[in-house]
Chain A
Amino acid sequence: MVASAIAAACRGAKEPGREPSRHYGLGHTASVAEIAERDIDAGPDGAGLPAGNGTVAQGGTIFTQKCASCHGANGEGRPPMYPALVGRDPSAENFVFGRNPNLKRTIGNYWPYATTVFDYVRRAMPQTAPGSLTNDELYAVTAYLLAANQVIPTDASLDAHSLAAVKMPYVTRFVPDNRRGGPEVK
């Protein structure tokens, strides 16, 4: 602790425009409740997924009631405002999007992580009532979308454990950025 404080102060002394590092005691310690209220993200390893479960069939009903008016009865979308969610067009398989700007990217032929569906719907959907779905409904809608995209069986049920275990078909296509500037354009 002391060594790092000295190092931090020395860093500050070397940069004339910068205040040396110190602790200011500003802000207030966040309570467990304050954190819980905002900490609703779900990560690719399943961390953050809440208790709950839902079936594909239940999700289909919710989709019809709460999603289809924007995303289409079968999730085909109303571009550009409401993206296509569902589709495994054979001509778009094998990740050939770089060749053809007209191919539609859907959950099934593009998205690398199933937990992203849960996370995004939980924080953002339906657009006019974000945060209104219960955890069970979130699992159901996620199950429905994954099944419609031929990623999980149509009789499946999802909970935190089984959702975290879903492997999306194109996850290995996502690669880190290899651009570095310099004379070679990548």
Chain B
Amino acid sequence: MSDPIRLLGAPTSAVGGRAAVVQTARTPTGDVVGSSLTPLQDLSGTITPADLHFERHHAGVPAIDPAHHTLLIHGLVDRPTSFSVDDIKRFPRVTRIHFIECSGNGELAFRGGVFGTPNPGLTPQRVAGLTGNSEWTGVTLRVLLEEVGAKPDGTWLLAEGGDACLLARSIPIAKAMDDTLVVWAQNGEPIRPEQGFPLRLLLPGWEGSTNVKWLRRIELGTRPWMTRWETATYTDPLLDGTARQFAFEMDARSIITSPAHPETITSGWREITGLAWTGRGKITRVEISTDAGHTWSNARLQEPVLSKAHVRFTQMWQWDGHETILMSRATDETGYVQPTRAELIRIRGPGTLYHWNPIYGWKVAANGRVFFHGAT
């Protein structure tokens, strides 16, 4: 059997691919109304490869020809304007690293399921995979709104996408003028079709559905439009008989991505690692417990810690071979601390919807097998 490093290797190639043994993938449902989850456990660092970034669609992925696609901005503006994709790329560009997260992230892990506690067979992907972190390039919406002469009495805007359901969400003008971007590139290349090619809206830290893909229209008005996606869905029923509307900001969350299910580990030293993020700015601390929550200590945060972006946390751990539960707990710059699942249920109710961000645990059995522990 010849040594492979003594054989002349493969030639240069036009588009690279992963090594054959690296089998990583999203989890497509095969539906036009559906999602596919980021394989969090397979990733290192903080950047999600674009082809592994989660999807959530309400009418499938449209095939848009950028040569004919336009973004119309109208309503309470001095000059209703239609921009081609090339026009948008001529504006001053900015590049920022931000996460996107669906407000439905974590539903399975929150629900009790058949046994009354969350399914121990969940992987990090299945627990919290409706999120990804990318470098985005585009123009600030502020520059575009100034270009068309947004009138001062415009207080809300409707952002509409070019998918088959013309998904549309109402956005307050303050966010539009703050850090909202109209982006065309992700991780250095044009956004992929499933991420909104050729243009999407990026609202740093805000729930995924506001980051309208295949962006084709923005209308300025004086009140929200109350579309399906901010009334029938993306509203959060609470215990007191109300439903929270326009719950835009994603609360702080962390998840250990290793050790995690379905790993089997051996005793001795290894690093506990995971990701943390918050829609309210920067993560300031991630604590780890290796004794089922009895004691906590600070993990290291990989620099730079960026605002409204995933941060990688790590802590060296020497496993003694006894059964235990590993947990992580994020704190953000507002002083918010990630709650346990029990706290979240107590505050919002077992039937609440969206913004499920409880502390997640991983039980390490004496034989080294790791299982999801959701009942924190």
Contacts and interface: CB of A to CB of B under 8 A. Distances in A.
Interface residues of B, number: 74
A123 interface: yes
Interface stretch (B121-129, B286-294, B328-336, B364-372): B328-336
Contacts of B316: none
Interface stretch (B10-18, B48-56, B130-138, B235-243): B235-243
Interface stretch (A56-64, A135-143, A150-158, A174-182): A174-182
Contacts of A111: 231-232
B244 A178 contact: yes
B120 interface: no
B219 A26 contact: no
Given A98-B351, A175-B245, A182-B334, A43 B221 contact: yes
Interface residues on A, range: 35 or more
A179 B242 contact: no
A3 interface: no
A19 B92 contact: yes
B245 A28 contact: no
A94 B239 CA distance: 11
A26 B90 contact: yes
Contacts of B90: 24, 26
Contact of B59 (A8, A21, A24, A127): A127
Interface of B: 31-33, 58-59, 72, 74, 79-84, 87, 90-92, 94, 111, 143, 146-148, 158, 160, 164-166, 168, 216-217, 219, 221, 223-228, 231-232, 235, 237-249, 251-252, 278, 280, 332, 334-337, 339, 343-344, 347-353
Interface of A: 8, 17-19, 21, 23-24, 26-30, 34-35, 38-45, 81, 94-103, 105, 107, 110-113, 115-116, 119-120, 123-124, 127, 130, 173-183, 185-186
